Amino acid sequence: MAEVKVTKETALAKPEAEFYAPILPFGRFFGLRPFALMREFTDEMDRMFKGAPLTEGAELGAWKPTVDVTKCNGNLVVTAELPGLKKEEVKVEMTDEALIIEGERKIEHKTDHEGYHRVERSYGKFYRAIPLPKEARTDAVKAELNEGVLKVTIPVAEAKPKAREIPIAA
């Protein structure tokens, strides 16, 4: 067997040499320093997952129906969009501090055609607590669900401001 002589050579890196990247569609990342690249990657991931259920602290499968709260003719009107739900699937409760709307939707859509069978399912629980003013009359609340829109009307007594005149000392 022939002997092979191995030598070790060291090359000194020039401190002024920089990495050059040609202009490519993805080339903007090659010219960045490592931490800048990591920051760019983190920003891109945050932008991609913005609004996803897990980033908002909710559990997977949570559903947040749209709720509007308005004051109209001395009433507080709470409108919630609950498409596809029946009144048996929605629970409305009233406490002294809040109006609580909760429920669960279970939607299943089946399609059978020649050659394929398709099933789509959508599940999700929701819970919304809307704070109420102190003047709300919790004994005269009305709720109705019509074509997927829940409307809760809460009478609110008009608050009389407590004001008194303060004499100015000379």
For residues 150 and 75, state if they share a domain.
yes
Query: pTM for the whole thing?
Result: 0.54
- At residue 100, the 3 state secondary structure works out as strand
For residues 87 and 45, state if they share a domain.
no
Residue 126 lies in a domain: yes
In the prediction, which pLDDT does 57 show?
Answer: 43
Question: What is the Cα–Cα distance from 29 to 19, expressed in whole angstroms?
Answer: 12
Residue 80 lies in a domain: yes
Residue 22 lies in a domain: yes
For residues 91 and 134, state if they share a domain.
yes
Strand partners, 128: 101
Give pLDDT tens digits along the chain (170 positions): 677 777 766 655 555 445 555 554 555 555 557 777 788 888 888 888 776 554 444 444 556 888 999 998 889 999 999 888 888 889 999 988 899 999 988 878 888 888 888 888 877 888 999 998 888 888 889 999 998 899 999 998 887 778 888 899 98
Q: Can you give the CATH number for the domain in which 149 is found? A: 2.60.40.790
In the prediction, which pLDDT does 52 show?
Answer: 58
Residue 167 lies in a domain: no
In the prediction, which pLDDT does 56 show?
Answer: 44
Domain that holds residue 100: 67-155
Residue 150: name the closest of 108, 98, 96, 88 by CA. Answer: 88
Residue 166 lies in a domain: no
132: CB partners within 8 A, 6+ apart: 76, 96, 97, 98, 99, 138, 154
In the prediction, which pLDDT does 59 show?
Answer: 46
Residue 100, burial from CB neighbour count under 10 angstroms (0-12, 13-18, 19+) = middle
Residue 60 lies in a domain: no
Total domains in the chain come to: 2
